[in-house]
Amino acid sequence: MISNLSGIYLDNQLFSRPTRNITNNQNEMKIVSEINETNPCNGLYIKTNGTTCGLKDIMIGRCYEYQYITNCTNLYELFESAIRYKPYCSMNLSTYENYFQHSFDGIQVIDKAMFWSGTYAVAHTYSNHGINYITLEDTLAAAMVSGLTWCGKDNDSEGFDHVSCPNNCEDNLWADDAFWGVASKTFAQKATGEIYLVLNGSQSNGHASFRNNSYFAKYELPNLQRTGQYRVTKLNVLLLHSPDRKVVEKCGENSLITLETIVRNYQIEYTCKDDPEELILIMCSNEWEARECQLARQVLRKEWDQKLFGKSNSNYHSVSFLFFLLLNYFTQKNSSDLF
């Protein structure tokens, strides 16, 4: 299992999650194999194509750093018992149930749960590590494994394959979803009140913003609580359109209509907003040279000069007008030539 969500949602660079790929450098791997072909780690913290060296120490250390529960060793043991001595392709959606149930025990994410699809970078910048909103990746269970790799091996003395972990399982598709599928389901079950969903309305591959094969559609949306004290009351969609890219769909169009129908059938209130102002600034901070962001460079520079040096700003637009103008760039129905 590779703890990396970047491949789940195909998207452009602005919205994609930064990856931490295991190196395939042949020279390095040759040196590693000479150390120990069965367990290249051998007490060392080195990169391999298999289970991350020092997996236990890293996960327990992150748990203590998180400062949420007291028995981090017990939580790791629940994780380890789910995979040790078990080949990766034998995993299924029940494999990590105990691990997630324990890590989320007593938790309800009230009015701050944020989901995302094809918008990793923007969504997590906006959530600000749980300060503004809470994403799945901000939770203890996900934070403990972020960027790590693991897979079991039935005939290994330690029960882990440190040499090579498979990227997928043709004979058991559920194995690939075993961890993040259950993670997504459990996080959705803990969301309460108003929730937020950041979608990509301008994916470079032309994909719809809401897709039936996305993790949100498969594991999160169906598991939102619809009744009881901790039910979800409202879903707020924040639909982004990347600078310098064609708009594929806007609120109230195509797949967004499908999503709205499903949500309202769940008796959950639904809203959708194209390119909220604060997210436009985040997008432009990543795409500073984009055409739609050029005005931001000029206006913000002049505003800061006025603040710092008291220079006249009478010949430049106000920041409020900047927001208005940028919104028009992103939302006008017949402005596709701008992207």
Q: Flag whether 26 is in a domain.
A: yes
pLDDT value of residue 1: 67
- pLDDT above 90 covers a percentage of the chain that reads 53
Whether residue 157 is found in the same domain as residue 303: no
Q: Flag whether 6 is in a domain.
A: no
Q: Quick check: helix, strand or coil at residue 207? A: coil
Least confident of 2-11, 35-44, 164-173: 2-11
Whether residue 266 is found in the same domain as residue 178: yes
Whether residue 312 is found in the same domain as residue 210: no
Section 25-51 average pLDDT: 58
Who has greater pLDDT, 208 or 44? 208
Q: Flag whether 21 is in a domain.
A: yes
Section 164-185 average pLDDT: 87
pLDDT band of 5, cuts 50, 70, 90: very low
CB-based contacts of 325: which residues, under 8 Å, 6+ apart?
Answer: 295, 317
CA distance 323 to 316: 13
What confidence tens digit (pLDDT) does each residue in 22-33 have?
333 333 333 333
pLDDT value of residue 262: 98
What confidence tens digit (pLDDT) does each residue in 97-133 have?
999 999 999 899 999 999 999 999 999 999 999 999 9
Per-chain mean pLDDT for the chain = 82
What confidence tens digit (pLDDT) does each residue in 75-86 have?
999 999 999 999
Whether residue 312 is found in the same domain as residue 274: no
pLDDT value of residue 142: 95
Q: How many domains would you assign to the chain? A: 2
Whether residue 165 is found in the same domain as residue 120: yes
39: pLDDT strictly greater than 70: no
pLDDT value of residue 265: 98
The whole-model pTM stands at 0.79
What confidence tens digit (pLDDT) does each residue in 268-284 have?
999 999 999 999 989 98
Q: Which of 281, 299, 325 is the endpoint of a domain?
A: 281
Q: Which of 260, 281, 302 is the endpoint of a domain?
A: 281
Q: Flag whether 57 is in a domain.
A: yes
pLDDT value of residue 258: 98
Whether residue 83 is found in the same domain as residue 142: yes
pLDDT value of residue 185: 97
Q: Flag whether 249 is in a domain.
A: yes
Q: Flag whether 4 is in a domain.
A: no
Quote the domain boundaries for residue 150. Answer: 13-281
Identity of the amino acid at 154: D
Who has greater pLDDT, 252 or 171? 252
Section 14-20 average pLDDT: 40
Who has greater pLDDT, 323 or 33? 323
Whether residue 256 is found in the same domain as residue 315: no
Q: Which of 237, 254, 281 is the endpoint of a domain?
A: 281
In angstroms, the Cα distances linking 23 to 19, 26, 146 are 12, 9, 17
Whether residue 276 is found in the same domain as residue 294: no
Whether residue 189 is found in the same domain as residue 314: no
Tokens standing for 8? Answer: 């789940």
pLDDT band of 328, cuts 50, 70, 90: low
**In CATH, what number is assigned to the domain containing residue 47?**
3.40.50.720
- Answer for the pair 79, 99: CB distance below 8 angstroms, yes or no: yes
CA distance 176 to 265: 30
Q: Flag whether 128 is in a domain.
A: yes
DSSP state string for 32-92? HHHH-SS-S-TT-----BSSPTTHHHHHHHHHHHHTS-S-HHHHHHHHHHHHTTSBGGG--
pLDDT band of 317, cuts 50, 70, 90: very low
Least confident of 27-31, 143-147, 165-169, 238-242: 27-31
Least confident of 120-134, 163-177, 199-213, 216-230: 163-177
Whether residue 268 is found in the same domain as residue 297: no
Whether residue 201 is found in the same domain as residue 319: no
Whether residue 167 is found in the same domain as residue 309: no
Q: Flag whether 5 is in a domain.
A: no
239: pLDDT strictly greater than 80: yes
